Amino acid sequence: QCCPGQNGGKNYVCPSAPPGWGAGRCEIEHKIIDCLAQGLNPSPKPPPLSPPPSSVDCPYGEVTTPCIIGADGNITQDCLLGSAGVSTVVSVDRLTVFQGARLVVARDSGVDVKVAASGITLHGELWAGCEGGASDAFMGKLLLEFVGDGAALLRSFVGHNMHESQLSEKGMLVTNTGRLELHGAPKESWHYLAANAEVGATQLILDASVDWQLGDEVVVGSTSTNREESEVAVISSVSGPMVSLQKPLTYPHKGDFTGRGARLNAPVGLRTHNVKLRGRMADGSDDNEAAAWQACFRLHSTCQAGRCQSTATVKAGCFGGHTLFLQHSQVHVEHAEFTNMGQNMVMARYPVHWHLAGNASGQYVRRSSMHNNFQRCTTVHGTADVLVAENVCHETFGHAFYLEDGIETGNTFQRNLVVNANPGAAVCSDFQGGGFLQLGPSGFWITNPDNSFLDNHVVGVGTGYWFTFPSSSSPSEGSRPGQCELAPGSRHSCSDAKYGAGGVFGPSRRYFDDLRHGYGPESWWTNQEQARTPVRLFRGNVVSGSHRGIYVDGRVFSSSDAFLSKDLPGGSIPCFGDGCPTCSGPLEGSFTWAPMTFNKSLHPRDRQYRYTANLFEDFYAAHILGYTQLDESRGLWVSGGVILFRGAVFLDTRVVAAAFMDLTGGCARASQEAPPGFTVAFEDSLFLSGPSSDAFFEIYDAGLYVARSRWATTPGTGAQFFVAKPKVAFGGNGNPIYFHESGPLGVFAQDSHSEYFQWALELPGVVNGTSGPLLNIANFEPLAWQSPYIRGSYVYSTDMFGIGSREPCIIAADHASSNPEWGKMAILVSGQKACASYLYETPLRFSCGAAFGGYGLWCGDGVPLSQCPGVVNDARLWYQGLHPWIDAHPPSVGSQPQATTAAEPPSTPQAAEAPAKVTPLSSSAAGFECSFPVPPPVSTPFFWDITCRRGDLGCNADGQHMECRWCNFGLFPSCPSPPPAAGGDSEDDDDKVSEAVREVMWGCVGLLTC
């Protein structure tokens, strides 16, 4: 008895409770069986349940009794299904393998088995082949077909709970005692072209030999900005790496990139396998089933303008099969094909789906294909440590590979190919449009960075790799006291909160807070800080023919909208309005990522933090051009992140990179050499322009550091292209683009034998430093010239981009000047002394550290910002020590602060201390100093700004000296609103301000008038 004594002494029995649960209370509205904890006396911190064992056994030879399956579809004991040379068809309403029974499909090459059912439930085991290669694999033909009509849709829609009859509606449910083993005939999953395939070609030359066969289907990925140039071909013969096709190609596909450039070639992926799982949409014939997907595509197109003409019609026309793997199930799938799977606009119904499975170590889906499906390809939901590898995902709706609730850790996504994920409507970010401009779907929707992503390739999506984490939970998601938001100034800022920057969305919070599931509310797994966690591994990933490459921003507040309804069309799926919890926030700065090292096994209140950086290795982005909003089309956009890109390659992207500040206010470094506060750094990276290119780098709020990197133009590059431009209508005074040992390809002698650049020197038509004129560096035309801060928009090179004298140089904004070699509306400042003078007279905008206002307890353990390990408290100190500054303008005594060494991590939490005093910068030659009738606290940073004038942007520091200013976002959340007399439009007004008001304004807000 699960809940003795509850509800007046009565026990309520769940009719389909999992085995061993006994009596309990059914909470359908919460989508779980919620047996009350009273009477269970659980231990407060039970250890996590042991992971299920890997598949090492094989039942063939043990199971020989032929299956006799009755009309009820119940299998209660071991049996063997099928035999060579015989076509076996099983058609039942529901097929159920009971616990302890094994349904084994004969694996000989002549076996042909079809199982058609409205639902398959595995309390026991289903086997088709075993691990171990061709000798152990299933070599026959197996079709598992899921059938269902409109009534099934209603049951599936209403039954989003733990009742097995609903969970298996037109799909397969593997329960907590079930096991699924599908091991199809081994075949190579996908490869790259090794030679160009032109229009009309009937042969593909791949980079390796393949074992594909006559009649197999492949998809050839687009190598342009047009995703429609990805096309399906049917094989007529194979000889080693040479694949002959039954019909000529319609579009050209690149295959002549060599060396490190080979990942820019077209991917070719296998779509067909001998083990197939299919949702029946028509009469079961291959042609009509394929046509049904096209019909769904046409229906779904009515939902792409922020509305659906007929939600019920779309759901019914896109109602495929699905799989669902519960906690403690065992799943090993390889060389299988999933098609017409997924139930569009119905949550929890996907082609491959681990659902609240917890620790699933050793489980996998690999070397399989998922094509022409109705919702996603693979969803890992509330699950850790699964392997998703070498799969081909072609034509689906919504985010393709999906980490759902943000709790998922330790999963590995390796060498998966995504081709054409179409806008969906299960969650708001699946589509494109809306006031906040949803730019989905993504190839990989990443809500937890503690996972690994290796050698994946994405073609034809909205965003290749979208990072957005549950940095807090909305009230509907069960937020806890102490959860916080990273952005200073927000209502529940981590600057003031004690707990961490993380959360868990959706059912995972409710399910894994329950101690019976092996975790509980005190477990580290339910107390993660995703927005402070560095990515576990991100290497060798590619995106092409898409709107954006990497996007770190676009905060969401839930993994699902309110959808449960007993009526169709019912609910609020699709939820298109910007107010929907699953809609990503404004495109810039709605989210931030501040990676740190900490002991995640500790409770957040006991953790200590040290800044670190994310390392993204060998990332490739090509042919990135927006098809919804051009201005948001970039190879990468990063809000915070502190990411070092090493060995990256960008080709024909409209803009390579732009970045937003780290909203925690910390001045972290992406590398040892990079300036503090610059959120993105590139090392050993290559930038190649193309017909779509407008600029490599956008000058904006966060600085970009480019070291030991090269760029070149390729044929078709337009005259509008420049290496750097300000973000459109940017007002200036941002952090600059900083170049070190970087310049045009071929200028540096080592390029000819560099592992990173040598291959690019051999590209036909490439204009580089040895074969043509220097490419224009900067175009400042897009600046908002009315801003008083335009001097803060510039690019800086330590060595004149490797050209000529190799002196330091600055290319800066100047409305009246243009240099045909260097840029438009730009001046060239060259030489050590000239650069030092320019920098000295140009106030720098560092939105971090002391210059950001000295936020306090953002580290989460009481360590003030000035002592947070691994951070530079005042980034201005770093810049003042730059060569050539230090040689040309030695600091006057007392006029500049001294750099300090970051402290080591404290052994115990320390009490908050005020940040060190920041002495104002001054020009002794001009005799200017900041003086105040009422001195501000030492924690208030201020500096002399000769560009600040009355009526212009910025904040006055004391109401008298207009040039002594301190810019801030506004009132702190805890600040009382000042009385009307606290601010004035003239200096005389300041005399009327009471001392009490001055204390409020200085001590809390940090300024007098804005």
The residue ranges of DSSP E strands in 175-302, in sequence order, are: 179-183, 190-192, 203-205, 217-220, 231-239, 242-245, 267-270, 275-279
Given pLDDT bands bounded at 50, 70 and 90, which one contains residue 577?
low
616 Cβ partners below 8 Å, 6+ apart?
Answer: 535, 538, 539, 550, 643, 644, 645, 646, 648
Given pLDDT bands bounded at 50, 70 and 90, which one contains residue 502?
confident
At 800-824, the pLDDT tens digits run 999 888 899 999 998 888 777 788 9
What b/e sequence results for 417-444 when a residue is b if at least 16 CB atoms lie within 10 Å of its CB, and e otherwise? Answer: bbbbbbbbbbbbbbbbbbebbbbbbbbb
Nearest to 167 by CA among 358, 32, 345: 32
Q: Are 1007 and 966 in contact, with CB atoms under 8 Å apart?
A: yes
Q: How far apart are CA 480 and CA 462, in angstroms?
A: 33
Least confident of 184-188, 303-307, 373-377, 790-794: 303-307
Q: How many residues does the chain have?
A: 1010
Q: What is the mean pLDDT of residues 408-416?
A: 97
Q: What is the mean pLDDT of residues 928-953?
A: 44
Given pLDDT bands bounded at 50, 70 and 90, which one contains residue 543?
very high
Given pLDDT bands bounded at 50, 70 and 90, which one contains residue 833?
confident
Q: What is the mean pLDDT of residues 781-793?
A: 81
Single-letter code of the amino acid located at 46: P
Q: What is the mean pLDDT of residues 724-748?
A: 86
Q: How far apart are the first and last CA of the chain?
A: 66
Share in percent of the chain as helix, strand, coil (round to 5): 15, 25, 60
DSSP 166: H
Enclosing H/E stretch for 579 = none
Return the percentage of the chain with pLDDT > 90, whole number.
49
Residue 188 reports pLDDT greater than 90 = yes
626 Cβ partners below 8 Å, 6+ apart?
Answer: 547, 548, 632, 633, 654
Residue 855 reports pLDDT greater than 80 = no
For 727, half-sphere exposure in the C-beta direction (CA atoms, 13 angstrom radius) is 24
SS3 152: helix
At 648-675, the pLDDT tens digits run 999 999 999 999 887 766 677 888 788 8
242 φ/ψ angles, rounded to the nearest 5 degrees: -95, 120
What does the CA dihedral 505, 511, 513, 515 come to, rounded to 10 degrees? -160
For 891, half-sphere exposure in the C-beta direction (CA atoms, 13 angstrom radius) is 17
User: Regarding predicted confidence, which is higher, 486 or 920?
Assistant: 486
Give the pTM: 0.82
User: Regarding predicted confidence, which is higher, 723 or 555?
Assistant: 723
Q: How far apart are CA 92 and CA 74, in angstroms?
A: 10
Least confident of 517-521, 597-601, 679-683: 597-601
Q: Cα angle vertex 745, ends 743, 746, to 5°?
A: 110
pLDDT for res 733: 61
pLDDT for res 901: 26
pLDDT for res 78: 97
At 323-339, the pLDDT tens digits run 999 999 999 999 999 99
DSSP 516: G
At 975-1005, the pLDDT tens digits run 444 455 433 444 344 344 455 544 444 444 4
Q: What is the mean pLDDT of the chain?
A: 77
DSSP 1001: I
What b/e sequence results for 288-313 when a residue is b if at least 16 CB atoms lie within 10 Å of its CB, and e otherwise? Answer: ebbebbeebbebbeebbebebeebee
Q: Are 874 and 855 in contact, with CB atoms under 8 Å apart?
A: no
Given pLDDT bands bounded at 50, 70 and 90, which one contains residue 91?
very high
Given pLDDT bands bounded at 50, 70 and 90, which one contains residue 575?
low
Enclosing H/E stretch for 27 = strand 26-27
pLDDT for res 76: 97
pLDDT for res 468: 92
User: Regarding predicted confidence, which is higher, 830 or 996?
Assistant: 830
Q: Could you tell me the two tokens for 104?
A: 């084994």
Q: Are 744 and 766 in contact, with CB atoms under 8 Å apart?
A: no
SS3 110: coil
pLDDT for res 349: 92
Least confident of 459-473, 577-591, 717-731: 577-591
Q: How far apart are CA 342 and CA 171, in angstroms?
A: 9
Q: Could you tell me the two tokens for 554?
A: 């676009």
Kindly list the strands in the beta sheet with 267-270, ordered across the sheet, starting from the edge strand earlier in the chain.
190-192, 267-270, 217-220, 231-239, 242-245, 203-205
At 46-65, the pLDDT tens digits run 334 444 444 458 999 999 99
Q: Are 523 and 529 in contact, with CB atoms under 8 Å apart?
A: no
Single-letter code of the amino acid located at 375: Q
Q: What is the mean pLDDT of residues 899-920?
A: 29
Averaging pLDDT over each range in 266-280, 549-563, 916-930, 977-991, which range is the top one? 266-280
Q: Could you tell me the two tokens for 922?
A: 């001054």
Nearest to 168 by CA among 17, 403, 418, 348: 348
Q: Could you tell me the two tokens for 912?
A: 């908050």
Least confident of 455-469, 564-578, 725-739, 867-881: 564-578
At 106-161, the pLDDT tens digits run 999 999 999 999 999 999 999 999 999 999 999 999 999 999 876 565 555 433 33
Averaging pLDDT over each range in 481-495, 521-535, 882-896, which range is the top one? 521-535
Q: Are 974 and 980 in contact, with CB atoms under 8 Å apart?
A: no
Q: What is the mean pLDDT of residues 472-498?
A: 42
User: Regarding predicted confidence, which is higher, 882 or 755?
Assistant: 755
Q: What is the mean pLDDT of residues 424-453?
A: 84
Q: How far apart are CA 218 and CA 235, in angstroms?
A: 8
At 772-784, the pLDDT tens digits run 555 689 999 988 8
Q: Are 252 and 446 in contact, with CB atoms under 8 Å apart?
A: no
The residue ranges of DSSP E strands in 489-629, in sequence order, are: 537-539, 542-544, 548-552, 596-597, 610-611, 614-617, 620-624
Q: How far apart are CA 400 and CA 378, in angstroms?
A: 7
Name 232's bridge partners: 219
- The CA distances from residue 471 to 178, 315, 484, 505, 596, in Å, are 35, 32, 7, 10, 14
pLDDT for res 560: 79
Is the torsion defined by CA of 967, 968, 969, 970 positive or negative? negative
Q: Is the peptide bond before 581 cis (omega within 30 degrees of 0)?
A: no
Q: What is the mean pLDDT of residues 525-530?
A: 90
The burial of 579, by beta-carbon neighbours within 10 Å (0-12 exposed, 13-18 middle, 19 or more buried), is given as exposed
